[in-house]
Structure 1
């Protein structure tokens, strides 16, 4: 688990993904890998039109369609390399030493699963090419990645701003206390002001968690919020100008019910700042 991996595509989010990945790479002292995956559903390795009844026995037409498909794939590969080159130059300008480039052909989730053993952190945009600019909707691939991987995932949103303040949702469970330990020990968060926030009555252990974070060098603010989880947390984030929200798969509580599985979509859908998902 050594690399920060950044998913680069043709979406508007790609430059922000690159910037946050460069920031994380330097904070963690970890190598940066820029990854572009050519989706096999849009760009199959080889086209087979033999089963198309409408074409019948018109072999010349099938050959021309296959040639067009091959040219389209080559252009997509070249476009991907151009995007990777641009991302590499951007990361280098941001201070990253020798970022690596990788281009794969296949399914994004399958590709990331293969790379998971070398992954320390994944950085991905809230919306990929397929949902670029469609309101607050979360990209289908992003949801699939969140459900499939067990590594920390930084979902970017908005414009890049080097985080100075973070917010951690806390519910008193063993897993949320583990999240506090990760936050306290990771160089990614070193020196950042921390807001330790709970919703409802899940505040057992809140003071102990705050002390642990203070002992690791954080300036800590605690808050107990009322109301529904998502609006309460986002309202707090916005009113306190928090730069990065940290959340995870917590214990049996309202926060767990909100964060786990498909409901994670509800939290990141309205995100205006990056959300780091601890697995």
Structure 2
């Protein structure tokens, strides 16, 4: 089992080159077909303003968007040529709020969708809210690459966040191509609930055993802390153990609740330092 169809988001951010490097490495690792998708953002201009714009201004805007798309796609194809990977490039125009739908549409024909974390210091970076919309709607596992890039050969040391939920089960299954190749997989349960409707009598043991039958070297761990937020604890634990890939289910609670009250998914997406593989 492996990923045979990959899709990577292309843009004009400083982080794109690092995201593409991670995608190309995965295409080599899994002998996969890689699609680079550039969604060209259309300007949303009120009609009364658009009427005042001359044809020359509109032509300049179109040319600028075309140049940016060609630059991003050209850089992607050149990196692929140097890596010896055959790729496919796609470009589609959409208004900003339509971008998640466009990525999701193309992403549903992929085994893994590779997106980038928002860099708040880069105005070209896709807002986190749109990335999260894509994650919720695509129906495929999403690999989030930090804007600082991914560690070389990432996926050797994996932390699997486990809370016994449907989303966590989906993520564990979706991540099997990574998990089976890893040197170590740590199943991490934070503040687990024992018994029926929880994590069982030994938190993490059941999913670790299930993964072991797939040849995954999994170790169950659990930690209890009422003072530290779950996401912060997971990030700290992962850093201490040399994790280079985190796997977890996305939005166990409603997205609206997480946005208002905060939540694991929202916090991890903002503060991630290693790639996250997430499923919803």
Structure 1 length-normalised TM? 0.79
Give the 3-state SS of the residue equivalent to 2:22 in structure 1: helix
Please name the residue that 1:253 is paired with. none
Whole-angstrom CA distance in 2 between matches of 1:181 and 1:120: 12
Verify the 8 A CA contact 2:158 2:244 in the aligned structure 1: yes
Alignment check: 8 A CA contact 1:24 1:188 kept: no
SS at match of 1:118: coil
Maintained 8 Å contact 1:194/1:221: yes
1:170-209 per-residue CA deviation (whole Å, 9 max, x = no partner) reads 12345534443443xx333332021110011244262222
1:224 corresponds to which residue? 222
Closer, same or farther: CA 212–94 of 1 in aligned 2, 3 Å: farther
Q: Distance in 2 between matches of 1:67 and 1:151?
A: 42
Deviates more, 1:211-220 or 1:99-108: 211-220
Contact 1:125 1:155 in 2 (8 A): yes
Q: Which residue of 2 aligns with 1:16?
A: 18
Cα-to-partner distance string for 1:239-269 (whole Å, 9 max, x where unaligned): 111001111147xxxxx34988644222211
Cα-Cα RMSD: 2.9
Pairing of 1:56-205 with structure 2 (within 5 A): 62=52, 65-96=54-85, 98-106=86-94, 107-127=98-118, 131-133=120-122, 139-157=128-146, 158-161=148-151, 162-163=153-154, 164-173=156-165, 175-183=167-175, 186-192=176-182, 193-202=184-193, 203-204=199-200
Paired residues in the alignment total: 254
User: Is contact 1:210-1:222 (8 Å) kept?
Assistant: yes
Distance 1:275 1:11 in 2: 19
**Structure 1 outlier segments of 4+, above 6 Å:** none
Match of 1:32 among 34, 42, 60: 34
Give TM-score scaled by structure 2 length.
0.79
Report the Cα distance in structure 2 between the residues aligned to 1:274 and 1:25, rounded to whole angstroms: 16
> 1:81–1:103: 8 Å Cα contact kept in structure 2?
no
Measure, in 2, the Cα distance between the counterparts of 1:247 and 1:7: 21
Unaligned runs of 5+ in 1: 56-61, 251-255
